[in-house]
Amino acid sequence: MKTIKGPALFLAQFAGDAAPFNSWDSITKWAADCGYVGVQVPSWDARLIDLDKAASSQTYCDELKGVAAANGVQITELSTHLQGQLVAVHPAYDTQFDGFAAPAVRANPKARAEWAADQVKKALTASRNLGLTEHATFSGALAWPYLYPWPQRPAGLVEEAFDELARRWLPLLNHAEDCGVDVAYEIHPGEDLHDGVTFEMFLDRVKGHKRANMLYDPSHYVLQCLDYLEHIDIYHERIKMFHVKDAEFNPTGRQGVYGGFQSWVNRAGRFRSPGDGQVDFGSIFSKLTQYDFSGWAVVEWECCLKHPEDGAREGADFVAAHMIRVTEKAFDDFADAGTDRAANRKMLGLD
């Protein structure tokens, strides 16, 4: 068994224009001061990383790692959540998602998708240059607007959407193979890969590509009323990344999983800081350890109530308290009778 690495922090929710969140040097110092030993980096945020340079310059990547190390943390993974989202966008979401793209490709869905794919490809190359072996992303979505089967979906509609999604991602998965990097899709509502079944539909279409894997975030399963512990039993071989994010689901006589178009604080299902929700993290850490998960436990702060800096500092302590240092011996070794094959055969009546 392996001991999970951590605690680490996803920096996407913290990067900003005010110190200490506005530069790579200062934000890594702050993360280390909060108690983290790793950081997951949003590749779209130029305040923290120049993705073009990271994809083309080993010297630049070495400098990034050097600054982080000097400040007491290491880079755990790069993320292309925003760019991955744009690999596949249904027209219903064109306006909402255009802001994720470079200005030159906005209002041009074909150019935007090509730009997004190139961004993911650069991030995979940059991951290789940084010595990383996993990469976080979203799958994007073409079928998501048709999630609820009313009106009845036309025959073949979902199949066509997943065929196209696989067609767009397969070249990127092949590039990931060339880079020696696993693509970990966050299984997330709003993406066509939003639960185990949809992940399997996609995996079948990319012919079980070994680089197509999962980012496990139990908060999204709580809000779907999905068994997040059995999910680990089923998919542990494909789980390559782990977000430590809590959630709670408290349905009422007025609303359930769909939320009634309410704000996050007023929804039946809402995200919380680690330890403040309903997720059984003790069992999650135990199962991941049991299955030899060797990645990072990365806090993703998303809470409708708590201040982000409080959530970050508490999250580091929360992960540290849940880390399981694996044993190197069996607890009953003291009772080993020291028998051998001959004795075993005698006990079985074979001699």
pLDDT at 346 over 90: no
What is the structure's pLDDT at 327?
77
Give the model's confidence band at 336: pLDDT under 50 very low, under 70 low, under 90 confident, else very high.
Answer: confident
pLDDT tens, position by position, 124-178: 999 999 999 999 999 999 999 999 999 999 999 999 999 999 999 999 999 999 9
| Average pLDDT rounded to a whole number, residues 41-67 | 98
Mean pLDDT in the chain? 96
What is the structure's pLDDT at 334?
64
pLDDT tens, position by position, 226-247: 999 999 999 999 999 999 999 9
pLDDT at 115 over 80: yes
Q: What's this model's pTM, rounded to 2 decimal places?
A: 0.95
Tokens of 238: 């494909």
Q: Which residues contact 140 (CB under 8 A, 6 or more apart)?
A: 84, 85, 86, 87, 88, 89, 116, 165, 168, 191, 192
What is the structure's pLDDT at 209?
98
What is the structure's pLDDT at 329?
76
What is the structure's pLDDT at 150?
96
Beta strands in 192-344 (DSSP E): 212-216, 239-244, 246-249, 269-272, 296-299
Q: Which residues pair with 299 in a beta bridge?
A: 9, 244
Q: Which residues contact 350 (CB under 8 A, 6 or more apart)?
A: none
**How many Å apart are CA 40 and CA 131, to the nearest integer?**
14
pLDDT tens, position by position, 264-310: 999 999 999 999 999 999 999 999 999 999 999 999 999 999 999 99
pLDDT at 312 over 90: yes
**How many Å apart are CA 161 and CA 157, to the nearest integer?**
6
What is the structure's pLDDT at 335?
64
CATH entry 3.40.50.1820 includes domain 5-347 = no
Q: Residues, the chain, total? A: 351
pLDDT tens, position by position, 65-82: 999 999 999 999 999 999
**How far out from the chain centre does Cα 80 lie?**
10
Q: Which residues contact 132 (CB under 8 A, 6 or more apart)?
A: 75, 76, 77, 78, 181
Tokens of 290: 């049991």
Percent of the chain beyond pLDDT 70? Answer: 99
